[in-house]
Amino acid sequence: MAIAPRNYRRPSIDIWPGFVDALSQLLMVIIFILLVFTVGQFYLSAALSGREEALHKLQQQVDALASLLSLERTANGELREGSARLQAQLKSASADRQRLNAQVSDLSVKAKDAEKLRDRSDELEASLAAEQQQAAITQKAIADRDARLQQLTTAASQGKQALAAEKSVSSEALAQVDLLNQQIAALRQQLSAISAALDLSQAKVKTQQTQIADLGQKLNIALANKVEELAHYRSEFFGRLRDILGNRPDIRVVGDRFVFQSEVLFAPGSADLTDNAKKDLDPVITALKQITAEIPPDINWVLQVSGHTDRNPIKTPQFPSNWELSTARAMSVVRYAISKGIPADRLAAAGFADTQPIDPGTGPDAYRRNRRIELKLTER
């Protein structure tokens, strides 16, 4: 159970990936809007195409009506000319009748000639009646033609009005298409600007990644140098402890750790330092103070105090398990070192219970060796 943080490194913040993600999302939104405008232009173009087809059909109908109107006007002119001829013939017949009537009155003495003249007069009257009937029929045809011409004129006027309306709608649609084209052009310009900014950002990110890699390499070299310096001071610290403590069997060096047997510092089942334990720890604290004054301030070091127990379980009100006992013993050593002037930020306490034995045996000697307090000078 760790009481103080070990090997803590402050994380660095890199905002460029987030900036690139934001630009990518903005680019996706612009592309989506461009697609929407493109689809709208497609459907609007289809609608305009349908309107143009309708306008073409209306134009064809107007042309057909104009053609019929021209034909009707031609036929009407011909009928009017025929009527004029008939009127002239009627006037000529009337003049002949009057002339014959005069001749009959003048030649009444001549019965035979008068009879012939009467027959001729009857024939002229019959011809005049026929001509009048034909003239009436012609007048009726002219009236019908005029009515039909009026209808055609009205239909042509309505077709022209519909054509004008369709042209107005088409003009508005074309104006909308022009506006959409302008908006699409503006969006494309914005897209180009965003793409350029994204390329520039990616180039900056690559440059910064290169710089970060260089800094990381330099940092690794610097850390390696600091570790070597710390190893040098650790060796010096352990060398001084060997000179001070001598070759005691209950205090020994195991790898990069200085090991105290628990019986040297604590009574069985207790986490309180004995008076003899404090005397044994004082030379260690004195040597640590001397090394602390020599270690450069840029080396981030800490003295880790680790408590270990054997496999025999403990269960008391104060220590429900070996975890609490091992942690409490490490804390007692740390508190004593702080009371002797060791800075608290250079100390760390940890309890490992029986999880890291140095002797896998199950006998009393193995248990005794596993009950220990370890001091390790290491980087934070």
- The alpha-carbon radius of gyration of the chain (Å, integer) is 62
Identify any residues that bridge with 375 across adjacent strands, giving them in sequence order.
258, 305
Per-residue model confidence (pLDDT) at position 2:
47
Question: What is the mean pLDDT of the segment spanning 57-76?
Answer: 79
For the chain, the domains span: 16-206, 247-379
Per-residue model confidence (pLDDT) at position 330:
94
Per-residue model confidence (pLDDT) at position 1:
45
284 near 259, Cβ under 8 Å?
no
Per-residue model confidence (pLDDT) at position 296:
73
Pick the residue with more confidence: 144 or 373? 373
Note the pLDDT tens digit of each residue in 79-113. Answer: 778 777 777 777 777 777 777 677 656 655 555 65
**328 pLDDT more than 90:** yes
Residues 223/224/230/232 CA torsion (nearest 10 deg): -160
Q: Tell me which CATH homologous superfamily contains domain 247-379.
A: OmpA-like domain (3.30.1330.60)
**74 pLDDT more than 50:** yes
Question: What is the mean pLDDT of the segment spanning 23-40?
Answer: 87
Helix (H) or strand (E) holding 373: strand 372-379
**167 pLDDT more than 70:** no
What pTM value is reported for the model? 0.40
pLDDT range class, residue 251, cuts 50, 70, 90: low
**352 pLDDT more than 60:** yes
pLDDT range class, residue 350, cuts 50, 70, 90: very high
**What gap in Å lies between CA 374 and CA 272, rounded to an integer?**
16
Helix (H) or strand (E) holding 348: strand 347-351
What is the third-level CATH fold of 16-206?
Helix Hairpins (1.10.287)
Percentage of the residues of the chain whose pLDDT score is greater than 70? 70
Average pLDDT of the residues of the chain:
76
**Tokens matching residue 206:** 């690559």
pLDDT range class, residue 216, cuts 50, 70, 90: low
Per-residue model confidence (pLDDT) at position 320:
92
DSSP label of 297: T
